[in-house]
Amino acid sequence: MFIFAVSGCFVVVISFLLVVLAYYIQCRSKICHNSNSLNDKYDYIIVGAGTAGCILAAKLSENSNRTVLLIEAGSEFNRISKIPPLSPLLQGTSFDWGYLSTPQKWSSKGMIDKKQKIPRGKGFGGTSQINFMVHGYLETEDLEKWEKLGIKDIKKYLPKFYNNLYNTSHNIKRANQILTEEMKWSLGIVLEKAVKECGALSLTFCKSFSTIYKGNRWTSYDSHLKGALKRPNLHVICSTEVTKVLISNKSAFGIESVSGGLIRTYTAKEIILAAGSINSPKLLMLSGVGDKKLLQKLNINVVEDLKGVGKNLHDHFNFPLYVSIEKPISLSLSKILSFKEIFNYLFYKKAVKVLKKLIDTKPFQKIGAKIHWPYIEECSQWRDEQGNNTENFLECLIRFCSMTWYHPAGTCAMGGQNDSNAVLDSFFRVNSIKNLRIVDGSVLPTPVSTFPNSIIAALADYASEIIQLTYPESE
């Protein structure tokens, strides 16, 4: 009898906890406007509420004289996205656009059909709701590169927006502070000594910092959009996919969208695409702006022959190699390799050798560090008679196991006046089309040296200032 009562209580408690958990996961605040309550015309329409879009909407609606419509294809993320280690669970769900690459000829040999998965977040916060939350530092070398490409003012102004990004409400610290204050963590010391022993290696490393606040994932939806949702001049619609930018006489005046099978158009003085590195160029092309030959092949009416649209795709490269150590400390390297190094890695296999060299040093050997080379049958023939790794063996592993680091960018690149592949000018304006801008990862003309999310967020903050300053031009 007693046993039945105890197990009955147990079932009730477990059921109650499951109901609470289900409520916690599903519970969403109401942020989307009903389509009946919308204006006929807005000052700004922003397409996409991702890393960049949330910041643009919050900043542009600070001015109560301007009306803003933010359109998002997804809706609010469930609470799983808030719990940092669970984000991979959202890949392949309705919160992910679920793109796959085309089959690759020279790489991805270990992937199904030689295709890479390209996850992209769908909903408020965009890809920053499913990313790995590593905070990337803005590097002067990137700013210098962009300035050399003819992008005006970016080197002068972007750092200010980057430094103000998360204000004091966020636990992110500056890179140089981390190096001086926090290098006493155990693996940091091992790395420091190993680099010294290797001599000529020019590696920089620091403890990684995350876009996590009070244990929860922290996105530009949390830091910017949430606080702006009550503004009467900001309207937000969700589960609505923009399918086309409406352009007349080379001037954008609205968008066409589809929601629940219903097609609807909205108009504005200025349209800002923040749909991400894949969907922003796709939208431009669907609107007739892109490489003329390609558009004609796809039977799309050509509005403007802009060759750079969808080109210049770049990404960071990821070749996972597992290293075990005997001591119970975790490996957290935010930047062991600069982009230049990663480039060499692909072409010269240099970085694999660099890693091997580091692991062979005394400080790493002292903690029992060991590289676990993956076993790939097709590659094993490239080991020499003693079982040592050869150049060909490393190349084979790279061709089988390397992956995208999920940072596709550059497909609507900013550039200088004489750059025929540039899609945007220094003010985020689409070349030759009035009242149309793009602000998201697609605008980055070259790969950033580290993780891009915080840099895209700073770009959006910077762009919103430029957009406000140049507003009278579009009146």
Ligand X SMILES: Cc1cc2nc3c(=O)[nH]c(=O)nc-3n(C[C@H](O)[C@H](O)[C@H](O)COP(=O)(O)OP(=O)(O)OC[C@H]3O[C@@H](n4cnc5c(N)ncnc54)[C@H](O)[C@@H]3O)c2cc1C
Burial class (CB in 10 A: 0-12, 13-18, 19+), 418: exposed
Amino acid, single-letter form, for residue 350: K
Residue nearest to ligand X (CB): 50
334 counts as binding ligand X under rule CB under 6 A:
no
Q: How many CB atoms lie within 10 A of CB 308?
A: 22
3-state secondary structure of 71: strand
**What are the structure tokens assigned to 397, written together?**
């592993």
Query: Binding string, 389-428, against ligand X, x = CB under 6 A?
Result: -----------------xx---------------------
Nearer to ligand X, 264 or 362 (CB): 264
Distance CA 232, CA 260 (A): 25
Distance CA 260, CA 35 (A): 12
**Residue 131 annotated as binding site:** yes
**Residue 302 annotated as binding site:** no
Q: Whole-number minimum distance, CB 34 to ligand X, in Å?
A: 18
Pick the stretch among 69-77, 153-161, 230-238, 355-363 that binds ligand X (CB under 6 A): 69-77
Using only the alpha carbons of the chain, give its radius of gyration.
25
Pick the stretch among 22-30, 43-51, 185-193, 416-424 that binds ligand X (CB under 6 A): 43-51
**Residue 190 annotated as binding site:** no
Q: Whole-number minimum distance, CB 97 to ligand X, in Å?
A: 7
Contact in structure between 54 and 220 (CB atoms under 8 Å): yes
**Residue 132 annotated as binding site:** yes
Q: Whole-number minimum distance, CB 475 to ligand X, in Å?
A: 26
E strand or H helix that includes residue 267: strand 262-273
281 counts as binding ligand X under rule CB under 6 A:
no
Pick the stretch among 35-43, 65-73, 188-196, 412-420 that binds ligand X (CB under 6 A): 65-73
Q: Whole-number minimum distance, CB 169 to ligand X, in Å?
A: 19
Nearer to ligand X, 59 or 120 (CB): 120
Q: Whole-number minimum distance, CB 101 to ligand X, in Å?
A: 13
Q: Whole-number minimum distance, CB 247 to ligand X, in Å?
A: 16
Among 165, 274, 397, 401, binds ligand X (CB under 6 A): 274
**Residue 303 annotated as binding site:** no
Nearer to ligand X, 127 or 431 (CB): 127
Amino acid, single-letter form, for residue 172: I
Q: How is 426-462 classified by DSSP, letter by letter? A: TTSBBTT-BTEEE-SGGG-SS--SS--HHHHHHHHHH
336 counts as binding ligand X under rule CB under 6 A:
no
Distance CA 383, CA 389 (A): 5
For ligand X, the binding residues in 116-135 under the rule CB under 6 A are 119-123, 126-128, 130-134
Pick the stretch among 173-181, 344-352, 453-461, 463-471 that binds ligand X (CB under 6 A): 453-461
Bridging pattern class, strands 68-71 and 41-47: parallel
How is residue 218 annotated by DSSP? -
**What are the structure tokens assigned to 373, written together?**
């080379």
3-state secondary structure of 208: coil
What are the distances in angstroms from CA 451 to CA 106, 167, 339? 25, 19, 10
237 counts as binding ligand X under rule CB under 6 A:
no
Of 172, 152, 151, 150, residue with least CA distance to 163:
172
Annotated binding-site residue numbers: 127, 131-134, 242
Chain positions contacting ligand X, by CB under 6 A: 47-53, 71-74, 119-123, 126-128, 130-134, 136, 241-242, 274-277, 279, 283, 406-407, 440-441, 451-454, 456
